[in-house]
Amino acid sequence: GTQIYYKDWAKGQPIVFSHGWPLSADAWEDQMIFLAVRGYRCIAHDRRGHGRSGQPWDGNDMDTYADDLAELVAALDLRDAIHIGHSTGGGEVTGYIGRHGTNRVAKAVLIGAISPLMLKTQSN
């Protein structure tokens, strides 16, 4: 699989941040610091093709982004997690919930989110 870079700060109920296009985990640092000092575990990853994560030729679609997020959540054994997604990250969060369910999810926050469906048509 593709190597996914992530930051994992502090302890407590996990908050997982999913960034917008074409940003990285660094976009969430102010929010992570604010919440980490208030007792939350804050995790932010660089989506595949972004920042310090792998830059594969294939797999740059919303289903794969959602599956990558599921693998990260499972690898870190996150439970009762709050997922926050901005722009493309919102599509990633909703895709993750749609494909993998809510067993590990406490809440989802979507900020200016796109749909988890990215569709290629003749016009694009």
Domains contained in the chain, CATH given? 6-111 (3.40.50.1820)
Condensed to tens digits (0 to 9), the pLDDT of residues 19-67 reads: 999 999 999 999 999 999 999 999 999 999 999 999 999 999 999 999 9
Are the C-beta atoms of 48 and 54 separated by less than 8 Å? yes
pLDDT at 116 over 90: no
pTM: 0.92
